[in-house]
């Protein structure tokens, strides 16, 4: 069930709103398949494309989405296990800057993302029912576990939308 707007900070509302109604685990499982189909056959020059000065390349966008999913999984794990320790935010620009995404191939990044998404799905499938509504604090905001699952899906949808509209893919 989609999270209530009180289940996460307002900053994430656009991501959650991008996620269709349905079973979030099934959505996450099918979503990566669609994204892989969009990106699997792009050429090196497309993978390196930046739509403006200072913007990320397609490779960096894929790496950013993957990094964010890993961080969100960590938050889910901590919160689902009842850990109330406030968790720090992260600087996504710095993460991309410190990565080597641009030196990798799209096939390599998509293979890694497949493993990351499989871990996301496995984590969510293994949660006891009561864990979905547990709360915790991250990046100076309060979240439910459920809301983070939707944020993962919406964050990917947001960036896929940008890949289609600004990077002219698909």
The reported pLDDT for the residue numbered 170 is 86
pLDDT of 103 higher than 90? yes
Please state the rounded mean pLDDT for residues 138-165: 98
Please state the rounded mean pLDDT for residues 2-28: 97
135 contacts 14 by C-beta, under 8 angstroms? no
User: Tell me: the pLDDT tens digits for 79-100?
Assistant: 999 999 999 999 999 999 999 9
Please state the rounded mean pLDDT for residues 145-159: 98
């Amino acid at each position: 069930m989609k999270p209530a707007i009180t289940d996460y900070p307002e900053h994430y509302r656009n991501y959650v709103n991008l996620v269709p109604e349905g079973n979030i685990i099934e959505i996450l499982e099918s979503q990566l398949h669609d994204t892989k189909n969009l990106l699997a056959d792009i050429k090196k020059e497309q993978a390196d494309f930046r739509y403006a000065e200072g913007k990320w390349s397609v490779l960096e966008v894929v790496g950013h989405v993957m990094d964010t999913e890993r961080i969100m999984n960590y938050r889910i794990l901590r919160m689902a296990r009842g850990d109330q320790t406030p968790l720090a935010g992260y600087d996504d620009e710095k993460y991309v800057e410190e990565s080597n995404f641009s030196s990798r191939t799209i096939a390599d990044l998509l293979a890694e993302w497949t493993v990351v998404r499989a871990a996301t799905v496995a984590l969510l499938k293994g949660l006891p029912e009561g864990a979905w509504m547990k709360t915790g604090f991250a990046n100076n905001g309060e979240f439910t576990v459920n809301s983070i699952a939707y944020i993962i899906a919406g964050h990917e949808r947001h960036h896929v939308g940008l890949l289609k509209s600004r990077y002219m893919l698909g």
